[in-house]
Amino acid sequence: MTLCRGARLSLNSLLDLGQTDPDAFISLISAAANILVPVIAKFITLGLSRHWIKAGEDVFVEGGDADGVYVVITGRVKLRLEETGEVLAEVGRGDTIGEEAVLDQVSRDATSIKRIFSARCMRDCELVKISPSNFEYICFNYPQVR
């Protein structure tokens, strides 16, 4: 048997495989689960949590506590200053937001730092939130993510 290092199957192809060759389907699902379980376990141990926020809702607001760093998985987020309404940036998939305040909090060894801008979802968003202590841990132990 030849092992494949990567494959991409559409949902329909996967469902067809389940109908035509149930044993291969079960083997494929089992192999995928064996790969994903350690990834999911690491995700949980690093204190990462997923958040779904609707378009028009705030991720965080200027003046609020810096309670974590967010990574945009899907959607678009607009960063703006509340007082002037100035748009600082619009970010999307793969971008991080809120790290400035968390880094400031960690560098000052402070218990609470306030956000310096607001972040509002322009589209429905999926975000991963990293707590300040876990962000510090990740930066220290995985310098390649900086």
Find where tokens 């991409």 sit.
8
Q: Which ranges of the chain have pLDDT less than 70? A: 1-9, 35-47, 104-112, 144-146
Contact 132, 80 (CB under 8 A): no
| Other Cβ atoms closer than 10 A to 48 | 17
pLDDT score, position 6: 61
User: 128: which strand partners?
Assistant: 50, 71
Residue 30: both structure tokens together: 């089992």
Contact 71, 130 (CB under 8 A): yes
pLDDT score, position 121: 97
What is the CATH class of 48-145? mainly beta
Q: Per-residue pLDDT tens for 90-114?
A: 999 989 898 887 776 656 665 667 8
pTM: 0.65
76 secondary structure, DSSP code: -
Domain residue limits, the chain: 11-45, 48-145
